[in-house]
Amino acid sequence: MEIIAKNSAVEAAKFVARYIAKKVTSKKPINIGFATGRTMDAVYYHLCELSKEESLDFTGVRVFLLDEYIGLTPDNANLFRRYLDLHLIGKHNFKKDNIYVPDVFAADLDQAAREYEAAIREAGGLDLVLLGIGKNGHIAFNEPGSAADSRTRVVGLTTSTRDANRNAFLPNEAPLTALTIGIGTIMEAGECLLLATGESKAEIILKLANGDINSQVPATALKLHRNFQLVLDSDASKLI
């Protein structure tokens, strides 16, 4: 694990955006797993700025959405697919056929999960996974207790995770389940880059950076990854 500590959230996001931009131009095709969440807003903003300055070409990038809510209607603005459309996919020249999302509207969700895992494998696996982290240590939607070898599957969401995102939903609308790529799926990626910013992430970053590998803090599995970078701002890194 390599820790990259930046002085501010903007600097941390710019670092990650620059890192992705370099990947986009250096290898084609490249398969990237993209996270959603508030932490990523600044990354995708700065990626747009870089793209404007440098005319980045995204036609060789295959986009894999890491996770998605189950139970929302296709027009719900809280779908992660909608987030990614707004912040990333709609902003660059991706090819339509290069966008991969788990089919949370399928009649058989377990089958949809298996198909998504197979799609990742058939594309040659993920070259890079961009991750955020939940306050309880979840990555994608791998909640505490997720096995190190877990694959793409349907999962229940914890109260902590539902509470963190509840404001975005109408009363009683916050989903109970989601479809997520597994810890095992993430661990097979060529590189993992986790960005955490803000004081609210300081405690979980302390557990990740200084604690043992423990399935109750799913992100700690990444410490066994051969190419894992943890990018932090000064608030998220203040306890380590």
Q: Is the peptide bond before 29 cis (omega within 30 degrees of 0)?
A: yes
Catalytic option among 87, 136, 233, 235: 136
Nearer to ligand GLP, 84 or 133 (CB): 133
Residue 93 vs 168, nearer CB to ligand GLP = 168
Give the interface size with ligand GLP as a residue count (CB under 6 A): 14
Tell me: does residue 166 bind ligand GLP (CB under 6 A).
no
Is 87 a known active-site residue?
no
Active site residue 93: no
Out of 68, 127, 143, 235, the active site residue is 143
Residue 223: both structure tokens together: 């410490």
Spatial distance between the Cα atoms of 45 and 68, rounded to a whole number of angstroms: 21
- Which CB contacts under 8 angstroms, 24+ apart, belong to 117-125? 117/151, 117/152, 117/181, 117/182, 117/185, 120/31, 120/64, 120/152, 120/181, 120/185, 123/31, 123/62, 123/64, 124/31, 125/31, 125/188, 125/189, 125/190
The answer to whether 66 contacts ligand GLP (rule: CB under 6 A) is yes
Binders in 11-50 for ligand GLP, by CB under 6 A = 35-39
**Which of 98, 160, 165, 234 lies at the binding interface for ligand GLP (CB under 6 A)?**
165
Residue 56 or 133 with smaller CB distance to ligand GLP: 133
Token pair listed for 144:
């505490």
124 to 143, contacts with ligand GLP by CB under 6 A? Answer: 132-134, 140-141
C-alpha atoms less than 13 angstroms from C-alpha of 2 in its C-beta half-sphere? 9
| Binding stretches for ligand GLP (CB under 6 A) | 35-39, 66-67, 132-134, 140-141, 161, 165
Which residues are annotated as catalytic?
67, 136, 138, 143
